[in-house]
């Protein structure tokens, strides 16, 4: 037997709850990225895996700074092969 459709009020409440959860996750991701960038600046050769290190590209410099309020839009994370593991 199929479920009864939700009311508009229930759907709106669910939507608002999901929006709050999404914001909390975005903020948590942003805080983790800040910590990751700080750690990377202290040790740029720290390994992520046995053969890869993190590379952080700062995309803020030299670009228009308008409409970029979030920290997470500033940095681009990449993995690259560690220098000592190259053949």
Q: What is the pLDDT at residue 24?
A: 93
Task: Give the mean pLDDT of 14-37.
Answer: 92
- Name the average pLDDT for the chain: 81
Predicted confidence (pLDDT) per residue in 52-79, tens digit? 998 888 877 555 555 545 554 678 888 8
CA–CA dist 20, 27 (Å, integer): 11
**DSSP code per residue over 13-68:** HHHHHHHHHHHHHHHHHHHHHHHHHHHHHH-TT-BSSSSEEEEEEE-STTS--TT-
């Amino acid at each position: 037997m199929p479920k009864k459709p939700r009311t508009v009020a229930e759907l709106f409440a669910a939507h608002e709850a999901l929006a709050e959860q999404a914001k909390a996750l975005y903020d948590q991701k942003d805080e983790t990225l800040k910590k990751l960038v700080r750690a990377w600046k202290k040790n740029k050769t720290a390994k992520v895996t046995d053969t890869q290190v993190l590379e952080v590209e700062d995309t803020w410099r030299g670009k228009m700074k308008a409409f970029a309020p979030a920290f997470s839009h500033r940095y681009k994370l990449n993995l690259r092969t560690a220098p000592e593991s190259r053949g």
